[in-house]
Structure 1
């Protein structure tokens, strides 16, 4: 089971929106050096919604190829069309990803039965470990713990990223799905408490700019050391908040660029981080010891 701090890695881009492959490779190497436990490629933070299917598959392949087995790679392959989710998941399997992360179909607002049938279809079509991803704040649909448990009965569904920020959801899912089902927090602000409550790790935005600190905090929480985890998390608390001053990944791409690791590239309809927020996020980065 993959545990710890799993970075929801940004997709570096040139100012004209083209994917910056050289920067991507350097960023991957840096995360490995810093102790990141796994890379989640082309998820929300990786601008999955602005990449076309060919680019999406190429980005997954780049990450898998460059990581070269040094740590696990989870590919974001969710879509609001079941057929597209199957196609992207097949690409990830062909590329050699260790698992896939599939967001609940967004905008469509499917029923709980629709969510089950969607994931059943993807699981049946592509033989690769699959992780569910519940983020109702972005998708307008909430996958309930009972539905997670039902989908978890499918052979290749191995876990869930729960991004409601409700720690009690972690407890509910653990009780329903048992000890062998992977549960990941998708909310940095509550990740420490989520892990202490039984989650296996955090699929993290903050880890894009503080990978070593997030790895250490998650490791302490996984070891059950509540005091040490709280001590390590305290300097990061500002980042957990300020990285969402505008929609993710707008602030985090600015922060990674501020560290000199990527160019100022993002794709419409996302725009570059507004000037009026720079001082707030920069102060949080300084407090965390990043700048």
Structure 2
């Protein structure tokens, strides 16, 4: 299957946080976040990811989040739903939900914790593809799942017609083994803001960004500059955002993002266990990084 051009996410897709208020999903705040992201120029939204605390969400909460984001986006950007679990049956159920609720594609991680064989990984995705017609983006993040794809497994998944792309962790075997010709055939996405620019320069399609929750305009502008061939501008933006990217951590800590969004008066900083709120030192680092990214203005609402 050639990648559907309507599903080309562009360079910057935000791994959107899930706002909570007194233990429940704050759908009104979520709508505001969606609007801010689109106004900031991002190309897509990924919901129910680890950055969105997907593992803590119930099936009904996931459904409400997808519906809210799809309706708020109104077709202006695609909404991608993370639906992968470590069980094939539940992955199928969540992916079917996402399809029925209007998601443009499903982001599906390799099954975690159970450490399936390479044949088991291939079987997992083959069965998922046979159970739903939703386009699939395969996520390969060995640090989270404790497994990595071999080249033969990568090729097996690439032969599944509904697989349209891969989200690749920096340094994973799959990322290193990706055949060059696939850069035209599939969406190739990075999961790291820190390495998104070099990933794009070597033929990647874009990034699923945690940092864009805070500064959608800057992160989107960085990728747009790189795609347009203006590498000096892209590197300046990369340097400007480097302290913030570092402060958020390699995985885009939801607690850190939510604290920063609270300082913008956008959401409550509440996270669900096992995550905890950021401490005083982290708050100071985040505040300094946000001000640096904003150019040391008193307000960074526009970044």
Give the TM-score, by structure 1 length: 0.94
Which shows bigger deviation, 94-103 or 251-260?
Answer: 251-260
CA distance in 1, matches of 2:236, 2:160: 39
Alpha-carbon separation, structure 2, partners of 1:20 and 1:160: 30
**2:201 corresponds to which of 190, 196, 199:** 196
**What is residue 215 of structure 2 aligned with on the other side?**
210
- Of 1, 11, 28, the residue aligned with 1:4 is 11
**Aligned-partner Cα distance in 2 for 1:242–1:61:** 31
Aligned partners of 2:130 and 2:229: how far apart in 1? 37
Answer yes or no: is 1:13 the counterpart of 2:15.
Answer: no
1:24-78, Cα deviation, whole Å (9 max, x unpaired): 0011111111111100111111111000112112211211122111111111111
Listed as ranges, the gaps of 5+ residues in structure 2 are: 1-7, 295-299
Q: Number of paired residues?
A: 289
Stretches of structure 1 lacking an aligned partner (at least 5 in a row): none
Secondary structure (helix, strand or coil) at the match of 2:85 reads coil
RMSD: 1.8
The Cα shift of 1:171 comes to 5.9
Secondary structure at the counterpart of residue 188 of structure 1: coil
* Structure-1 residue corresponding to 2:160: 154
Residue 277 of structure 1, aligned match among 270, 279, 282: 282
How far off its partner does 1:270 sit?
Answer: 1.1
**What's the secondary structure of 2:143's corresponding residue?**
helix
Deviation at 1:204, TM superposition (A): 0.3
- SS for the counterpart of 1:281 is helix
1:175 match: secondary structure: coil
* Alignment match, 2:107: 101
Name the CA shift for 1:182/1:145 in 2 (closer, same or farther; >3 Å). Answer: farther
Q: Which residue of the partner structure matches residue 47 of structure 1?
A: 53
Identify which of 49, 56, 63 aligns with 1:57: 63
Q: CA deviation at 1:176?
A: 6.3
Q: What is the correspondence of 1:1-291 to structure 2 with a 5 Å cutoff?
A: 1-14=8-21, 16-163=22-169, 165-166=170-171, 170=175, 172-175=177-180, 177-244=182-249, 248-289=253-294, 290=300
Task: Give the distance between the partners of 1:136 and 1:130, measured in 2 at CA.
Answer: 19
Deviation, 1:245, is 7.9
| In 2: Cα distance, 1:168 partner to 1:105 partner | 16
Residues in 1 aligned to 2:268 and 2:242: alpha-carbon distance in whole angstroms: 26
Whether the aligned pair in 1 keeps the contact of 2:13 and 2:46 (CA below 8 Å) is: yes
Q: Is the Cα–Cα contact under 8 Å of residues 149 and 176 in structure 1 kept in the other structure?
A: no
TM-superposed CA distance for 1:169, in Å, is 5.6
Whole-Å separation in 1 of the counterparts to 2:194 and 2:250 = 14
